[in-house]
Amino acid sequence: MINLDKEYPKEFIKIINYLLDDIYSFFMDIGGNLDFEDIYATVFPEHKQEDQISAMQDLKTLHHYIRDRFPHDLSPFYEYVLYNVLYFVYDSSDDGFNLEDIISKHLSENIIRKFDDDTLKILRNIQTPYDVIGIIFEDIDFLDVGELFDIYKNQPEIVTKFLNVDLDCYEELMPEDIKAEYRVIKDNFTAHSLDEVKKYNSNEFNEVVIEMVKYFKYAIEHQKGFELLNTSEGGVNEKKVQRLFQIIAKLFFKDSDILVNSEVDLGRGCVDFYFSIGKNKRALIELKLGKHQRYQDGIKYQLPTYLIVEDVDFGFFVLICYTAKEYEKSKELFKTAKELSAEYKKDIRFEQINASGNYKSASEIKNKEEMNFE
């Protein structure tokens, strides 16, 4: 049987595997009446669709995993195939392949007594194979290997340490040329990690801090980072935004001599982030949410106070905007930052981050303005 999350009781896992067997058997039956490429091939990655003998063996192996009594942890490859089998049956059936009768058949009074209310509710809410997908898979990284590889090519540490994804596990889902390219990048990345720490002079320090903030902006706006901040339950609080910023900053500077410290007490309050190389190369960063009514105070008074108290010449005010309205309204702070720089004789920068998730996909863009690259 297919292993599920350990929080589920054994009888629950058995019932889910009974459902999987019915769904999978239906898929195998209808596919057996047609040519291989019509149905069976469609549940495999494209580079695996030409080898019919190997693919049919994989389909049989996966069915054995579902039916036998041994607990099986699926590889990403088999997860990919099973996901597509479930979705195919759901999508191709008039009623979504309703499972309620099958579940009722397995829910005897004796079995029901073994389940708590939450577990029983989960079972009774299952109607189609699409609902089963949500129970079996904790994540669907196996569908995003192409996107993960694109990120890995430029920022390997974002994939390995921030997203906590080991692409070695997904090699079977890569075409041969991509697999070869991945291995070269991985070897170079491993070798680079053994090199000396990158050291920055005073001029380079300011520039690399600016680059880090811009990378944070890019990750949020263009690499779906906004989904981590602006969730279905609303925008996350300031502390969680700071935590994400800290993770990305530490990854960005991990091969350098720049130290990243958070919540540093300066005597007149705690600055969100303190980047430094010794005493002479320092930067203070304040993050605020655009939904706060007095966020302007952060750049007008709070950040300048910290810079003066600590005798630091370089500061950044970063505003996270959860709506397009907040983003548009805050553009005036670019001018404010220049005015404050002149007034206090400090280099005070402003950056706004659109975490609304309202940017159009590439296929929908009709002009350069809609690309939203500033």
Residue-wise pLDDT tens digits, 224-235? 888 889 887 788
Q: Which of 161, 192, 223 is the last residue of a domain?
A: 192
- List of long-range contacts for 238-244, beta carbons under 8 Å, 24+ apart: 238/287, 238/288, 238/289, 241/287, 241/289, 241/320, 242/272, 242/273, 242/287
Taking the C-alpha atoms of residue 76 and residue 144, their distance in angstroms, rounded to an integer, is 11
Say if 4 falls within a structural domain. Answer: no
pLDDT on residue 47 = 95
Q: Which of 141, 164, 181 is the last residue of a domain?
A: 141
Q: Which of 126, 141, 156 is the last residue of a domain?
A: 141
Say if 130 falls within a structural domain. Answer: yes
CB neighbour list of residue 234: distance below 8 Å, 6 or more residues apart: 322
CB neighbour list of residue 218: distance below 8 Å, 6 or more residues apart: none
H/E segment holding residue 367: none
Instruction: Name residue 288's beta-bridge partners.
Output: 319
pLDDT on residue 119 = 87
17 and 120 fall within a common domain: yes
Instruction: Name residue 317's beta-bridge partners.
Output: 286, 350
CB neighbour list of residue 130: distance below 8 Å, 6 or more residues apart: 86, 87, 90, 96
Taking the C-alpha atoms of residue 41 and residue 363, their distance in angstroms, rounded to an integer, is 27
Ordered DSSP codes for 246-266: HHHHHHHTTTBS-EEEEEEE-
Say if 149 falls within a structural domain. Answer: yes
pLDDT on residue 312 = 94
233 and 312 fall within a common domain: yes
Q: Which of 256, 247, 154 is nearest to 205 (CA)?
A: 256
94 and 133 fall within a common domain: yes
233 and 334 fall within a common domain: yes
24 and 130 fall within a common domain: yes
The amino acid at 64: H
28 and 101 fall within a common domain: yes
The amino acid at 341: S
Which residue range forms the structural domain that includes residue 282? 202-371
Say if 5 falls within a structural domain. Answer: no
Angle at 213 between CA 209 and CA 218, to 5 degrees: 140
335 and 263 fall within a common domain: yes
> Which residues of the chain, if any, have pLDDT below 50?
none
Say if 182 falls within a structural domain. Answer: yes
CB neighbour list of residue 126: distance below 8 Å, 6 or more residues apart: 19, 99, 100, 103, 132, 135
pLDDT on residue 105 = 87
Taking the C-alpha atoms of residue 86 and residue 237, their distance in angstroms, rounded to an integer, is 37
Say if 222 falls within a structural domain. Answer: yes
Say if 281 falls within a structural domain. Answer: yes
336 and 242 fall within a common domain: yes
pLDDT on residue 140 = 86
Count up the domains in the chain and report the number: 3
59 and 137 fall within a common domain: yes
Say if 1 falls within a structural domain. Answer: no
302 and 173 fall within a common domain: no
221 and 357 fall within a common domain: yes
337-374 burial, b for 16+ CB within 10 Å, e for fewer?
beebbeebebbbbbbbbbbbeebeeeeeeeeeeeeeee
21 and 131 fall within a common domain: yes
